[in-house]
Amino acid sequence: MAHDLAAGPPEARVQQGQGKFETVISPVLLAHKCRVPYGVEVESRYTPRPSFAGGSDPRKHLHVALELPAELASHLAAFDVQVRELSQAPGEWAPLVTERDGRYFVKARLAVEGRPGSMRIDGGELQPTSWQNISLVLDCHNNLRGAEMDAALRPAYIWSVHGRRGLSVYLEMFAARPAAAAPRQLTDYFQ
């Protein structure tokens, strides 16, 4: 079951869980014409490389910041407010959609191990986002930096940590159109 965000925010339910998480029950949210300006984050200054990629971090996902068109961002923000009002977890709410310089972003998790999502690159075959597949795509297309993307976002749960809480979403499926690579200038050092 999927819901196109262009039609507005869908209805959500929140199921109270044990411990610090609450489950969000909602259709998968379809977001068209997104961009991935920073690419898929495998590691950064604050996030070590995951173990499936040869690092030490036990997480089973990668992070990706999606830039959304303004209309989709407003619908996703309305959905986020709806989920916040249904949540009973304590803490200050961290909005799902952030705005920087008139641009709207949502940070999503791209599952690689456990329950991986699926991807399609340049209209090719649908394939799982296992590390074997995604690492080749990231290597060939500069971590998808600058790619255009249609995204299927799955609202997963509400996290509550250190007096803050918020909605966590997974990139269930994506169809990416990588940015054209700049021609690489080869240098012959022995000429």
| Tens digit of each residue's pLDDT (9 = 90 or more) over 19-55 | 668 999 999 999 999 999 999 999 988 889 999 999 9
User: In terms of C-beta density within 10 A (0-12 exposed, 13-18 middle, 19 or more buried), how is residue 56 classed?
Assistant: exposed
H or E, element range at 139: helix 131-140
Residue 185 lies in a domain: no
| 124 CB neighbour count, 10 Å cutoff | 11
Residue 66 lies in a domain: yes
- Residue 105 pLDDT greater than 90, yes or no: yes
Residue 189 lies in a domain: no
Residue of 79, 60, 59 lying closest to 4 (CA atoms)? 79
Average pLDDT value for residue range 126-137: 95
For residue 6, give the CATH number of its domain. Answer: 2.40.50
Would you list the DSSP string of 50-93? BGGGTSSB---EEEEEEEEPHHHHHHHHHHHHHHHHH----SEE
Domain count, the chain: 1
Task: Give the percent of the chain with pLDDT over 90.
Answer: 79
Distance between CA 67 and CA 120 in Å, rounded?
A: 19
**Neighbouring-strand partners of residue 174:** 119, 151
Residue 184 lies in a domain: no
- Residue 186 pLDDT greater than 80, yes or no: no
- Residue 72 pLDDT greater than 90, yes or no: yes
- Residue 184 pLDDT greater than 90, yes or no: no
Instruction: Look up residue 1 and give its two tokens.
Output: 């079951």
Domain membership of residue 89 as a residue range: 2-177
Average pLDDT value for residue range 123-130: 94
